[in-house]
Structure 1
Amino acid sequence: MGCEAEDVQAIVAGRHPDPFSVLGLHEVAGKWVLRAFVPGADRIEAVDPKTKRRIVALKPVAGADGLFEGTASRRKSRFAYHLSITRDGHHWVADDPYRFGPVMGEWDEYLIGEGTHRQLWHVLGAHVMTHEGTPGTHYAVWAPNAARVSVVGDFNTWDGRRHLLRRRGQTGVWETFIPVIGDGEVYKFEVLDAGGHLLPQKADPVGFGSEHPPRTGSVVRDIGDHDWGDAKWMTKRAARQRFDQPISIYEVHLGSWRRVLEEGNRPLSYLEHAEQLVGYASDMGFTHIELMPISEFPFDGSWGYQPVGLYAPTIRHGTPAEFRAFIEAAHNAGLGVILDWVPGHFPEDPHGLAKFDGTALYEHADPKEGFHPDWNTMVFNYGRAEVSNYLIANALYWLQEHHVDGLRVDAVASMLYRDYSRKEGEWIPNKDGGRENLEAIAFLQTMNATTYGEVEGIMTVAEESTAFPGVSAPTDAGGLGFGFKWNMGWMNDTLSYMSEDPIHRKYHHSKMTFGLHYAFSENFILPLSHDEVVHGKGSMLDKMPGQGAEKFANLRAYYGFMWGHPGKKLLFMGSEFAQGVEWNHDSSLDWHLLDIAPHKGMQRLIRDLNTLYCANPALYQQDATPEGFEWIEENNGEESVFAWIRHGTEGAAPMLVVCNFTPVARTDRRIGVPEQGRWVERLNTNSEFYGGDGRGNFGGTHSEDVAASGRAQSIQITLPPLTTLFFELERG
């Protein structure tokens, strides 16, 4: 009944391609033969799981340390058993992982092989479950070119020979069920490549948890049923996230929003953020919080943009359950949560996806396609069905399992073009000879069509810095299918204008107006993101010319311009109270600045801008249509004055926005208006409440039959220096 010599050698060496055909219980010539492999064991018996009575004593196989074999001659059929093990005087009873059958079904195999398994995380990864009546954890991983895969951890002294996985047909998936192991267990996969070479131990590509960096192991996390308490938000989410609704986003890096100095300067946990960040963002009038990447990442300095664990909320702030509690708290406060999502590239860390089974599995083999020169990272192979499936399933995972409301896709431009940041000769044209990455385009279209089709009320956002057409157009019209696109051109032009000394702004007037030539070509978000306050760019306050009060006045006027301009809003944390220094991911924001009047005033302004914005449909209903915007004064470069009307849909009162970007007051200034009536001054960035000198219009003014700005009606106003004013028409 003994094993073949080559089987014995392969089992002991941990190189057997099908260990389940040798180990465990097998019927051989009408008898039940049991084999077990426990390196270092002195004695092994099979015992009844209930009575613990011996069923059969296993004998050591000669020349094979740890391999034991025995025949249960009196048993007529398959029987349940445990292994009673003795080693160096220590004794314990354990279940045998090789006695369990497969977990994956044929339908799962088919969908994985086809690259269409949209709930991939239900199958791959580590799942706490009860299998064949026994509690434990099921492990499964895709490694089609591996000669052998095993799971290692403290439970087997990190011995890759102990728990080998079963290959599942032609899918490239390996799986096993290990009894007893449950939530909190640290593990990795040990992989032999096709040539039998041992690779660096790998974290689970679909792992739901990770160790604290710099440790790199995956951690079993039970993400089973969660008793969600956010039904009220979820039922109204679709209406709240439409392009004709107010969307004002507070972008946050969880590691540095606020820290606990008294406890080693540690960042807040998800639960602390659920109370403090959620409460703050809600009080400030934002509609959404956008989190810089929270998928597990090894290097703090990447800010999360080089993820390794795409399915694991970073342990830096807590467990998946605690992350869900944060999402739930946001929803119950009326806030949506958007995650920065990074399907564009991944780092070369040896425990990550790179050369996962010894081949270029997730990435392209040719560095002209598979290596990103800007970030020294690997580029996903979007043309491979399994890779595209892995990423699309990941998007669905965050949206479905964690009730995330939207995904902002990072660095879309780097995905769309094969020659992005590459010199001539360093890239490979597409099949038509062009520079567009057709596979990435198809991936993004499928991702958007799938997420919008399968999860009601979500939103996707593209950080796309080129003039690629149709980013937010529907996929059935040839677009990429995103809900929104960051308006990078608007950001670059307007910040360039604001950095000019006011005396020179008249020569750059078009930088503030050019964005209106294309403002309605996409569903735009106006972003003042973290990218504008890093790498020597200084803080938002630093970008403003002048000294002291003038810098604050410039920034207040600019924020007013932004909130009055067509497009949804995004502001990076700290910018709302004029953080004085450039953002540092290792430090807390300078919250103490709120004890200083100009900073407190800036915070009040952002709160009131959000309140005004959300309360007035003219400021958001027609963001994406030209009918929502009307220039009043577009070409007054000499005075650096801009004036326009925002229109809502039928019945909404129009809003007049007037900006003065010089330090010169314009008294008795006439501004044309489209309708007669009283124009109420709803917000003045020069208010003393915000840190200005208080000059304004005493609550508003009536229109007169005096022509100005090409209109028969006009209002006469005081336009303070470096100020933005909002006037709403009061009808009736």
Structure 2
Amino acid sequence: MNPITAHRAEIAPSADDLYLYNEGRNTQAYGMLGAHVQDSGGVVFRVWAPNAARVSVVGEFNGWDGNADPLASLGASGVWAGVVGHATPGQLYRFEIFTAEGYRLVKTDPYARECELRPGNASRIAAPGDYLWGDAQWLQERAACDWLHAPMSVYEVHPGSWMRHPDGRLYNWRELAASLVPYARDKGFTHIELLPVTEHPLDESWGYQTTGYFAPSSRFGSPADLKFFIDASHQAGLGVLLDWVPGHFPGDDWALADFDGSALYEHADPRLGLHADWGTRIFNYGRHEVKSFLLSSAHWWLSEYHFDGLRVDAVASMLYLDYSRQPGQWLPNRFGGRENLDAIQFLRELNAMVHGDFPGALTLAEESTAWPMVSRPVWLGGLGFSMKWSMGWMNDSLRYFARDPLYRRWHHNELTFGQMYAYSENFVLPLSHDEVVHGKGSLIGKMPGDDWQRFANLRLLLAWQMTTPGKKLLFMGCEFGQWREWSEQRELDWGLLADGRHAGVQGLVRDLNQLYRAQPALHELDFEPAGFEWIDCHDAEHSVLSWLRRARDGRHVVVVCNFTPQLRQGYRIGVPQTGTYREVFNSDSAHYGGSNAGNGGAVNAYPGEWMRLPASVDLTLPPLACVVLALD
């Protein structure tokens, strides 16, 4: 008896699953495709290859012999399937595909749950078994969380270069659980965001050239090890976000590209399917099975691994058909426009699925254009993301801070302009990995002046970020002022913390995070204009800005920033109330390496209208510093 026929009932998915998959509406296709260990023994393999003439599974269980275990076509679905009774968990495998033209391809499994450690690229049969999670309370609280009004300070991490063993070996997930998790908690962050840890062949891609959309990178251990890390984070009170890459994939001949001899996951026309800048392929979002693949990938990471959200990479490249293309290098949509209508629909379905199936989970868009309503609900006509990175705030801020303070007076608007659009989206203020690589220099390396001024400017930049409306993101190493650019090939320069100036920056970040979380006025109305009011945004002559942040109950804090190295005494600003204002933060504190100028811990506000407010205070403004005042 033909073994394929004997196992027909076992290998065939349900008709409903196949129908939804072919319709682009199967968000859990990982339960159908890939390699699945059977309770009755053996492994069932299924793969979508609609244009293949013949498909076999090859692996360690059959000597990589394509004649040993052929798969059967499941008809118009395009899926091929079969059971291999002698295959066992842990063994490597691939799919051997003969194209309609008779060419032989050997491909990794698009739905593989584990992969071989680089430089190998085979898929690995994942062992069954459930991880025993200990984060039920976390997930329950997440579902009830009012994230719009909650503090969110994200520590962005590349796990392969945060810290390494003395011999250069990477930390595994369990070692990172013992070191990174308590570090991030101690520094006051609310979330850890991982650069892509979906499997990828090239370290230098930082994970952005993904080949395993369901497999965590084998660099850092097993799937259970990653679950242990996320579980430990949740039990420590930290959320974990995954940087996820649905915008493009690499052209490696063993992976998704030309999967069955045809442009299956991508467009055949390079004007639609090739991203020349990155040398990658662009997903065909209009193909139903591709949509099911990507939706299922997102669902997998949130359900199986308990990630708390997805940072979606390169959204702008998905939205525009002419992204990074010259005239004649792109094709318009059916209405003659430049918008990628299929990608728009996919993103809306993605966000609706995440918010519907995973209460409290977040989606964050890296989107750098003026596309409207990125972070507005789908039912209002938006793309449905929870939040969007504010690339405008980042670019304007870094451009301003790189200027010699002598000339900042002429560029005051680079800091004030952001309030013109600050509430058009739910913004995250990012100081990310992209700003400290490729010759851009480290954050402290961008700062002007001598070493004292550079450290003072960096402390001021970090305070500017923390006191400006929007959620926060900071890349690893920036929290202690690393001098060198980030490199994926080495760990951070932890030895710098022996220098009190670097330790001071680290202490400042910890205290800023604690202040941000403790003061409702600094986070509750991040996305609403009622949470912000300029006191004075016009003092370009002295390069000073002052503003109010307000909580939902009306309580407020006062923020004043002096962007010059000149100490200013007797600087009067208006405030909303009389009384004693405590100086709850001063970036010039000696604790952080500053000159320790300030206001002696508190100032009194006296009645009398000033700057349209009913009271005023006279302040000492430390050089290149931010002070925050709270009413007793």
TM-score bracket for the superposition, by shorter chain length: over 0.9
Q: Structure 2 vs 1, CA of residues 389 and 147 (structure 1 numbering), >3 Å: closer, same or farther?
A: same
**Counterpart for residue 109 of structure 2:** 204
1:644-683 to structure 2, matched below 5 A, reads 644-650=547-553, 653-683=555-585
C-alpha separation in 1, matches of 2:117 and 2:486: 24
Q: Report the Cα offset of residue 711 of structure 1.
A: 2.4
1:394 aligned to 2:297?
yes
8 Å CA contact retained: 2:257, 2:263: yes
8 Å CA contact retained: 2:11, 2:44: no
1:163 aligned to 2:69?
yes
Q: 2:14 aligns with which of 102, 105, 118?
A: 105
C-alpha separation in 1, matches of 2:614 and 2:373: 39
1:119 aligned to 2:119?
no
**Counterpart for residue 311 of structure 2:** 408
**Counterpart for residue 222 of structure 1:** 127
Residue 137 of structure 1 aligns to which amino acid in structure 2?
V
Using the TM superposition, name which of 218-227 and 413-422 deviates more.
218-227
**Counterpart for residue 58 of structure 1:** none
**Counterpart for residue 620 of structure 2:** 718
C-alpha separation in 2, matches of 1:195 and 1:164: 18
1:255 aligned to 2:234?
no
**Counterpart for residue 92 of structure 1:** none
Secondary structure at the aligned position of 2:41 is classed as strand
C-alpha separation in 2, matches of 1:162 and 1:241: 55
8 Å CA contact retained: 1:631, 1:643: yes
Q: Report the Cα offset of residue 700 of structure 1.
A: 1.1
Relative to the length of structure 1, the TM-score reads 0.85
Residue 597 of structure 2 aligns to which amino acid in structure 1?
R
Q: Deviation string for 1:36-95 (max 9, x for gaps)?
A: xxxxxxxxxxxxxxxxxxxxxxxxxxxxxxxxxxxxxxxxxxxxxxxxxxxxxxxxxxxx
Q: Deviation string for 1:87-113 (max 9, x for gaps)?
A: xxxxxxxxxx87985342222222222
C-alpha separation in 2, matches of 1:714 and 1:228: 54
8 Å CA contact retained: 1:241, 1:247: no
**Counterpart for residue 141 of structure 2:** 236
1:509 aligned to 2:488?
no
C-alpha separation in 1, matches of 2:355 and 2:191: 19
8 Å CA contact retained: 2:95, 2:108: yes
Q: Deviation string for 1:228-281 (max 9, x for gaps)?
A: 1101111111344611100000000001000001xx301100111111010100
Q: Report the Cα offset of residue 431 of structure 1.
A: 0.6
1:577 aligned to 2:511?
no
Higher-Rg member (1/2): 1
Residue 410 of structure 2 aligns to which amino acid in structure 1?
Y
**Counterpart for residue 2 of structure 2:** 23
Q: Report the Cα offset of residue 25 of structure 1.
A: 9.4
Using the TM superposition, name which of 178-187 and 655-664 deviates more.
178-187
Q: Structure 2 vs 1, CA of residues 189 and 582 (structure 1 numbering), >3 Å: closer, same or farther?
A: same
Q: 2:78 aligns with which of 172, 175, 200?
A: 172
Residue 402 of structure 2 aligns to which amino acid in structure 1?
S
Q: Report the Cα offset of residue 710 of structure 1.
A: 3.1
Q: 1:537 aligns with which of 435, 440, 461?
A: 440
* Runs of 4+ displaced beyond 6 Å: 97-100
Gaps of 5+ in 1: 1-21, 27-96
Count of residue correspondences: 632
C-alpha separation in 1, matches of 2:9 and 2:44: 11
Cα RMSD, aligned residues only? 1.3
> Whose relative contact order is higher, 1 or 2, with alpha carbons under 8 Å and at least 6 apart?
2
**Counterpart for residue 312 of structure 1:** 215
C-alpha separation in 2, matches of 1:314 and 1:602: 32
Secondary structure at the aligned position of 1:147 is classed as strand
1:241-640 to structure 2, matched below 5 A, reads 242-261=147-166, 264-640=167-543
Secondary structure at the aligned position of 1:316 is classed as helix
Secondary structure at the aligned position of 2:613 is classed as coil
1:695 aligned to 2:604?
no
**Counterpart for residue 187 of structure 1:** 93
Q: Deviation string for 1:680-729 (max 9, x for gaps)?
A: 11000000000001111111111012443332311111101100001011
C-alpha separation in 1, matches of 2:55 and 2:280: 25
C-alpha separation in 2, matches of 1:656 and 1:342: 40
Using the TM superposition, name which of 97-106 and 705-714 deviates more.
97-106
Q: Structure 2 vs 1, CA of residues 710 and 416 (structure 1 numbering), >3 Å: closer, same or farther?
A: same
**Counterpart for residue 93 of structure 1:** none
1:148 aligned to 2:54?
yes
Relative to the length of structure 2, the TM-score reads 0.98
Residue 336 of structure 2 aligns to which amino acid in structure 1?
G
8 Å CA contact retained: 2:21, 2:288: no
Q: Report the Cα offset of residue 117 of structure 1.
A: 1.3
8 Å CA contact retained: 1:223, 1:321: no
Q: 2:586 aligns with which of 684, 697, 721?
A: 684
C-alpha separation in 1, matches of 2:423 and 2:171: 40
C-alpha separation in 2, matches of 1:141 and 1:102: 11
C-alpha separation in 2, matches of 1:440 and 1:25: 38
1:73-112 to structure 2, matched below 5 A, reads 101-112=10-21
C-alpha separation in 2, matches of 1:284 and 1:529: 17
C-alpha separation in 2, matches of 1:323 and 1:101: 31
Secondary structure at the aligned position of 1:624 is classed as coil
8 Å CA contact retained: 1:100, 1:177: no
Q: Structure 2 vs 1, CA of residues 351 and 473 (structure 1 numbering), >3 Å: closer, same or farther?
A: same
Residue 236 of structure 1 aligns to which amino acid in structure 2?
E
C-alpha separation in 2, matches of 1:645 and 1:408: 30
Q: Structure 2 vs 1, CA of residues 129 and 671 (structure 1 numbering), >3 Å: closer, same or farther?
A: same
Using the TM superposition, name which of 577-586 and 108-117 deviates more.
108-117
C-alpha separation in 1, matches of 2:228 and 2:242: 15
C-alpha separation in 1, matches of 2:621 and 2:18: 69
**Counterpart for residue 54 of structure 1:** none
Secondary structure at the aligned position of 1:675 is classed as coil
8 Å CA contact retained: 2:172, 2:219: yes
8 Å CA contact retained: 1:364, 1:380: yes
Residue 633 of structure 1 aligns to which amino acid in structure 2?
D
Secondary structure at the aligned position of 1:705 is classed as strand
C-alpha separation in 2, matches of 1:468 and 1:112: 30
Residue 557 of structure 2 aligns to which amino acid in structure 1?
M
Q: Structure 2 vs 1, CA of residues 606 and 240 (structure 1 numbering), >3 Å: closer, same or farther?
A: farther
C-alpha separation in 2, matches of 1:425 and 1:654: 54
Residue 161 of structure 2 aligns to which amino acid in structure 1?
S
C-alpha separation in 2, matches of 1:456 and 1:478: 21
Q: Structure 2 vs 1, CA of residues 101 and 525 (structure 1 numbering), >3 Å: closer, same or farther?
A: closer
Q: Structure 2 vs 1, CA of residues 533 and 597 (structure 1 numbering), >3 Å: closer, same or farther?
A: same
Gaps of 5+ in 2: none
**Counterpart for residue 727 of structure 1:** 629
C-alpha separation in 1, matches of 2:146 and 2:262: 42
